[in-house]
Amino acid sequence: MNTLTAEFFGTFLMMLLGLGVNANVSLKNTKGSFSSASAWVLICSGWAFAVYIGVVVAGPISGAHLNPAVSIALLINGSLSLTDFFAYVGVQFLGAILASFAIWFMYQEHFKATESLETRRGVFCTAPEYANVPRNFFSEFIGAFVLLFAILHFTDPALIASGEKIGMGSIGALPVAIVVWGIGICLGGTTGYAINPARDMGPRIAHLLLPVKEKADSNWSYGWIPVVGPLCGGAFAALLFGLLS
């Protein structure tokens, strides 16, 4: 398996499990459907496990970026070429889109049983509890910043200097899963913490393309925030890390 294939499958598995916990908690008549504050803990835990699995699969081969915000940070610090950056981001989006269709097919009866079109859409992509562009942007920015600043500090400088394929897999699957879980529990309550452009935009595109008669719009007026915010957060983390190193 080459690096791009590993990155594709790592992202696919991460998104399959992450969107799966969204569906299991949000849609009607699933084994995990319920309404309480603890649902958020289940969702954050599911996404942490999802990242863990993605990193286990892709880490030894591609470094396990699984996230354009990770890729842009490594581009800025010189660990990734521009050509590889675009290739990585491309397969990350493909993996996210394919996983979205797989979850839609798997949970199709439950989507039909769920009357709220916004709840159906929420399985795929994030939305803020309160629409406020500066604060929504900051939420996505700071979440991605924490993720990348932690990854860069966890990664052995000698590994970065060696030219090896690095990413979330460079610190091991368990530490990065804990970081993602912590970000969700502590910072994710405002926007749903996409902190990953492929995680949000890929499923948003899939939602747009789904062959269903009745669905909410894909909320494109908000859709740029979970793309640009994490990219800026990842870039800032890389720049600050370089300045402080």
Residues near 209 by beta carbon (within 8 Å), at least 6 away in sequence = none
N-terminal to C-terminal alpha carbon distance within the chain = 34
> Whole-model pTM?
0.91
Does residue 28 contact residue 123 with C-beta atoms inside 8 Å? no
Q: What angle do CA 105, 9, 158 make, to 5 degrees?
A: 150
* Identity of the highest mean pLDDT range in 8-12, 74-78, 221-225, 240-244: 221-225
Could you tell me the two tokens for 87?
Answer: 């290739």
Domains along the chain? 3-244 (1.20.1080.10)
pLDDT of residue 162 exceeding 60, the answer is no
* % of the chain exceeding 70 in pLDDT: 91
Average pLDDT, the chain: 90
pLDDT of residue 167 exceeding 80, the answer is no
pLDDT of residue 19: 92
pLDDT in tens, 62-107: 889 999 999 999 999 888 999 999 999 999 999 999 999 999 999 9
pLDDT of residue 30: 82
pLDDT in tens, 186-222: 999 999 999 999 999 999 999 999 988 889 999 999 9
pLDDT of residue 157: 61
* % of the chain exceeding 90 in pLDDT: 73
Q: Give helix 197-209 / helix 225-244 axis angle, nearest 10°.
A: 170
pLDDT of residue 158: 58
Q: Is the dihedral of CA 18, 6, 98, 129 positive or negative?
A: positive
pLDDT in tens, 24-53: 898 888 877 766 667 888 899 999 999 999
